[in-house]
Chains A and B, each alone.
Chain A
Amino acid sequence: MLFKILPKEEFRALVEMILEANEVIAPKAIATNARGERIHQFLPIRSFEEMDLEYKSTEYSAKTYFLPYRENLCTFEFEGEDWQQSIQYYIQPRAIIGLRAHDINALLKLDKVFIRDRFPSPYYISRRKNTFIVGLDHIPEEDEFSRSMGTHIVTHGFDLFLTDLSDRYFVAINSDRAFSLLQKVKTRDVADADTHAYLEVRRRIRDGFKTHIEVHSLPNVLDLEFTSKVWTKWGEKCLNCGSCAAVCPTCYCYGVTEEVTMDFKKATKVKQLYSCNLVDFARVAGGHDFRSDKEARLKYRYYHQYRGFLEDYGEPKCVGCNRCGRVCLAGIKPAAVIKDLYEESV
């Protein structure tokens, strides 16, 4: 990895340069909530000012720019006895600025599923390859537990990663295209003082975590507590609304349906992200349902996060951003559920 120092005014020039030829997605303040806090979302911006890099968190992850909530997989056109299928993978080049380390780690997990596993997804690959990612360090929010998940540090999966040193950014460069781009603005080499300042920020980030979950024996605890009352306690609260999976940066389960136009001349295969907590998630042909109660549905979501994914890919799926815990109107928070499980198993 290469490191450079980028003065803040040069960063502005860099963003403006990216804006000239690309769609740019960045955290944007869109409203104020009932507690007087600003609400941010990753949305397209058209000027540097629209972006708010002081943001604390976003209700939604930036997942939708890689795995859209709804996506047309292909279209069919019928003519006479014949039909033609067309598929469109191509997307406009795009940049996402301000992604957290845990959000980039989330993409690395999705890469394992959609790029490196047996059935690579051309839809995902085209979006991933065509997206220029500028990450940004942050002091964690009180409820984040990405340090427990080992996702508060990221070493690849981005183009540039910035650490704010007040008047300048400490920049990690991780791609050719990022390197070339940086040639067009003024940067300087890293001096000892920069390294010290950088490491000091890293320490503050590490020590900033207030929420921790026990992970080292979690897969076993999940197995041991398969029939635990803990699942009844939290399962009874679950609204089955699927919001947790929707805002999760790594939940990727989906359903596919066909839609036909009213003149019956065209059809579209539509993919929609789904959630394992939705009431009909495991309903199959013949009306059978192998996860008919909500407690089982909630349990299997946790199983996929902290056990199933680990078996397949060697790491948990959760990155500890706690977006699911914040969005859940019923107050189901992973840190609390996992704490309960450990207490049950003592």
Chain B
Amino acid sequence: MKHLNIERRRPKIGVFDFTGCEGCELQLANKEDSLGAFLSAIEVVSFREVSSDNGSDYNVALVDGAISRPDEVERLKEIRQRAELLVAMGSCACFGGVNRLKNAYDLDEANREVYGDCPKQTMPTMSVKEVVPVDLEIPGCPVCKDEVERVVQHLVWDLPLPTYAYPLCLECKQRYTVCRFEFGELCLGPITRAGCNAPCPAGGLGCWGCRGPAEAPNYDEFFALTAERGFDRQIVRERMGFFGGFDHVLAELEKQEQHEAIHDDHA
């Protein structure tokens, strides 16, 4: 169908959930004022939150949830094979999310803690891109529907994809939000990718980094400024580790410190 002489596609979309709360999928059914238009711009082939259809002729797969079981790996690979384009949706799919916290523990112990004497098959939690190639990522816990719409508009019209290179602080400023650090609270805003419109600081909660890192955050300065303000190093790292988006930074940091510790022992 042409509109203003531009060809408009109607992507066939399948939505698939893995380990997660399905909150991102609910978010897709949110924003009622444009929901009708959203659903008619695409063809929903498989999406259990809004339709009982369960087709397999999709060309775009929206995947939410982390990968934490061997059967999920197989299912994801199958989806990847069918889909021309795979979008990881939400912090779990993009980074492993809250589920990833278990990776810091012994797997059997974690299994016992959660399932008692009915253990489930499990494995260390992975993000989607650790299993199959990912074309687009929409981070967030949950995803922000506006951003999903922009991605769909890209698929339909080739409109430019939204990019948020800068950290959250700018969006707090746009909303006239008082900086959480003013209240003596910790906030990951200065290192976290914008694009959510900063609802948490505006609602009185410092950022927890669910959207992962902005482009080229200044970690050194962030660690320095949080230390200066008296935040315990471990508390800052735990906050950064919560959604998994900063895991690579934390891992690098620990490696460095171990290296330094060994160095100190030798000295």
Contacts and interface: CB of A to CB of B under 8 A. Distances in A.
B43 to A, nearest CB: 15
B184 interface: yes
A33 interface: yes
Interface stretch (A13-21, A127-135, A152-160, A256-264): A256-264
B227 interface: no
Interface in A65-93: 69-70, 78, 81, 83
Contacts of A278: 165-166, 170
B173 interface: yes
Interface string B21-35: 000000000000010
B37 A261 contact: yes
Nearest to B33: A262
Interface residues of A, number: 42
Contacts of B225: 329-331
A35 B178 CA distance: 14
A279 B215 contact: yes
Interface string A26-52: 000011011000010101000000000
Contacts of A329: 179, 181, 190, 225
A33 B182 contact: yes
Nearest to A263: B37
A164 interface: no
A262 B215 contact: no
B121 interface: no
Interface in B158-193: 159, 163, 165-167, 169-170, 173-174, 176, 178-179, 181-184, 189-191
Contacts of B173: 60, 69, 242-243, 246-247
Contacts of A60: 173, 176
B221 interface: yes
A41 B173 CA distance: 12
Interface stretch (A104-112, A137-145, A233-241): A233-241
A39 B182 contact: yes
Query: DSSP majority for the B interface?
Result: helix
A83 B5 CA distance: 12
Interface string A273-297: 1010011100100000000001000
Contacts of A236: 218, 220-221
Interface string B128-154: 000000000000000000000100110
Contacts of A279: 165-166, 214-216
B185 to A, nearest CB: 8
Given A39-B178, A260-B153, A264-B8, A240 B183 contact: no
Nearest to B162: A257
A243 B170 contact: yes
Contact of A34 (B8, B170, B184, B220): B184
Nearest to B190: A239
A262 B214 CA distance: 27
B176 A41 contact: yes
Contacts of A31: 178, 183
A89 B191 CA distance: 37
Given A241-B170, A262-B153, A278-B165, 20 more contacts: A33-B182, A39-B178, A43-B176, A237-B218, A237-B221, A239-B190, A239-B218, A240-B216, A240-B218, A242-B173, A243-B169, A243-B170, A246-B170, A246-B173, A262-B38, A263-B37, A273-B174, A279-B214, A327-B179, A329-B225
Interface of A: 30-31, 33-34, 39, 41, 43, 59-60, 64, 69-70, 78, 81, 83, 236-243, 246-247, 260-264, 272-273, 275, 278-280, 283, 294, 327, 329-331
Interface of B: 3-5, 8, 34, 37-38, 40-41, 149, 152-153, 156-157, 159, 163, 165-167, 169-170, 173-174, 176, 178-179, 181-184, 189-191, 214-218, 220-222, 224-225
